[in-house]
A and B are shown apart, each in its own frame.
Chain A
Amino acid sequence: MPEDKKKTSTISPKTPPPAALNKVEKENEVNRRTFFSWLSLGWVAFVAATGGFFTMMLRFFFPNVLFEPVQTFRAGYPDDYTVGEVDLRWKEKYGVWMVRNDEGIYVLSTVCTHLGCTPNWQPSAKKFKCPCHGSGFRMTGIHFEGPAPRPLERFKISLADDGQIIVDKTQKYQQEKGQWNDPESFLKV
């Protein structure tokens, strides 16, 4: 603080009479101190307000309600699907492949785990091949070539009371997290 004191006495434009000097300087010092604490408070408030404003602007881009297509649908009866084949009938509308093997049915997402293109099912090679960067997936959804970092995702599949299959796309199961063992990711037939 000594430096501050010096400044006050030199900078102060009106030099008070000598008798009052001591008193005025003391008052001045208090004023300066309060001034600085108000100043820092002001800055904190300014930064907080600016930060809050930018948070608001950022939050503005994330609406509370989304108008997106329904994620749950009925996919017919288990017998509609042939064993050992990839069924493409829901690909267009819901973005899923239904695959039936000896044990049952599972639902694969048509979104490549690399960058979200739609792979093509190549029956001759028995693989899904992504046209964007050449990732390849086996019929199970396991990745084996190209840049895809992980297997295709599976969706929740269950049977309704009337025997129809219900696919729920809001629930996904990832193999690398060990979720394919989940009974809901797989429909035993």
Chain B
Amino acid sequence: MSDKKNIFERIAEGQIWKSIFRGGGAPKSRRQRMMVVLNSVFLHLHPVRLPKHAVKLKFTWCMGGLSFFIFLILTISGILLMFYYRPTIEYAYTDIMDLTEQVPFGIMREIHRWGAHAMVIAVWLHMFRVFMTGSYKPPREFNWSVGVILLVLTLLLSFTGYLLPWDQLAIWAIAVGSNMAGATPFLGAEGPGSSLLAIGDINFITKASDARFGLIGGRFLGEATLLRFYVLHCIGLPFIIMIFMAVHFWRIRKDGGISTPV
């Protein structure tokens, strides 16, 4: 009996398995366990060994990891939503209705929306934890600043997504938000100093050329706004946030991993 191998052992020793997972067999010895982390592109985000408080939930709250995980949930559910959603005034609202009513397992939108709320909260709590443990202190100053940018990008992603259902909640939140852009000093038509940027009677910063216009693609909220926010939400901002996330994760390792008492 004992020399007869069971199915799992046979798979684990086969060529296919071994070609995918280097190191051979289940990670039982200390060396094998270290190799698992070193050999995996995903796991080697982590170092091989950690201070013991780094695996304690009461120290880390797991909020950084959770933020990243929610980002992945949002990416996947967002891609699924894109299959049904058309960013035009005519269809946007009804497509959202269909998502709940006509599509099997119609909770994808719920997952996406509540996930967005959860991500904002997780990112906040992560920042809170990092502050409370003084982890922004040298040598991690720069990574804290990158983290603040990630927080801003998270809020912007959530904000651009807010418009897409094209309901009353959406357009009035964005109306208020985009009008703030119109009040940008110098660059907004209704901001202080904009009237100074003029030659004689010709104003360079008008309703058709200011920061608000660039954001919403017109003088009023409309088709162009929806398209701009859609592109920013689905492609533009995720692209930027992924770059900053890469820097953030890389710098955690380069700055010496999780912060520890000196």
Contact = CB atoms under 8 A, between A and B. Distances in A.
Contacts of A63: 217
B26 to A, nearest CB: 53
Interface stretch (B118-126, B149-157, B174-182): B174-182
B222 A68 contact: yes
Nearest to B219: A68
A116 B175 contact: yes
Contact of A117 (B172, B213, B217): B172
Contacts of B179: 115-116
A170 B191 CA distance: 20
A187 B39 CA distance: 80
Interface SS majority for chain A: loop
Contacts of A132: 172, 176
Interface residues of A, number: 13
Contacts of A68: 218-220, 222
A31 B176 CA distance: 61
A55 to B, nearest CB: 13
Interface in B168-189: 172, 175-176, 178-180, 182
B164 to A, nearest CB: 19
A66 B213 CA distance: 11
Contacts of B209: 62
Interface in A54-98: 58, 61-63, 66-69
A66 B214 contact: no
B223 interface: yes
Contacts of A62: 208-209, 213-214
A182 B182 CA distance: 26
Closest 6 CB pairs of A and B: A116-B179, A115-B179, A115-B176, A61-B214, A116-B175, A66-B218
Interface of A: 58, 61-63, 66-69, 113, 115-117, 132
27 contacts: A58-B214, A61-B214, A61-B217, A62-B208, A62-B209, A62-B213, A62-B214, A63-B217, A66-B208, A66-B219, A67-B223, A68-B218, A68-B219, A68-B222, A69-B220, A115-B175, A115-B176, A115-B179, A115-B180, A116-B175, A116-B176, A116-B178, A116-B179, A117-B172, A117-B175, A117-B176, A132-B176
Interface of B: 172, 175-176, 178-180, 182, 190, 208-209, 213-214, 217-220, 222-223
